């Protein structure tokens, strides 16, 4: 087993980064506390909340598959095209290459959340 990552990378205008980062970190804390799915992302528009609930269900399914809590966290990262927000599993806990396809499903779900929140450019990736 190596380092395990499922992540989405979202670019927002610089003036919005800190606001969006705090919203995503709050969602990460909700996931960690295991609040009911219908209570996630109260500050989000309804359409984005529906996408978020789907992503949380994918995280839960992934965690059950690998047998560890992976959760989700957000941070600002530097990219060649400017700062962006990375939304991915908390602490990059290793999950093994055999779970790469399942990790890709979670990464795509997180990218969908970022798109629903208005990120103009989003990509997703996994790494083990």
pTM of the model: 0.93
Q: Which pLDDT belongs to residue 106?
A: 95
Residue 22, pLDDT above cutoff 70? yes
With residue 33 as reference, give the H or E element that holds it. helix 17-33
Residue 118, pLDDT above cutoff 90? yes
Q: Taking all residues of the chain, what is their mean pLDDT, rounded to a whole number?
A: 91
With residue 65 as reference, give the H or E element that holds it. helix 46-66
Residues 6 or more apart whose CB falls under 8 angstroms from that of 12 comprise 20, 84, 85, 118, 119, 120
Dihedral sign from CA coordinates of 103, 104, 105, 107: positive
Band of residue 127 on the pLDDT scale cut at 50, 70, 90: confident
State mean pLDDT over 78-90.
Answer: 94
Residue 2, pLDDT above cutoff 70? no
**96 DSSP 8-state letter:** -
């Amino acid at each position: 087993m190596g380092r395990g990552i499922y992540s989405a990378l979202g670019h927002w205008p610089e003036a919005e980064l800190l606001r969006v980062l705090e919203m995503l970190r709050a969602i990460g804390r909700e996931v960690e506390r295991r609040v009911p799915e219908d209570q996630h992302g109260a500050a989000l528009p309804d359409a984005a909340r529906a996408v978020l609930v789907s992503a949380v269900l994918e995280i839960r399914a992934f965690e059950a598959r690998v047998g560890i809590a992976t959760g989700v966290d957000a941070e600002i990262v530097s990219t060649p095209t400017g700062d962006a927000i990375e939304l991915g599993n908390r602490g990059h806990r290793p999950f093994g290459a055999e779970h790469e396809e399942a990790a890709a499903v979670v990464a795509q779900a997180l990218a969908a959340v970022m798109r629903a929140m208005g990120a103009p450019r989003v990509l997703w990736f996994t790494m083990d």
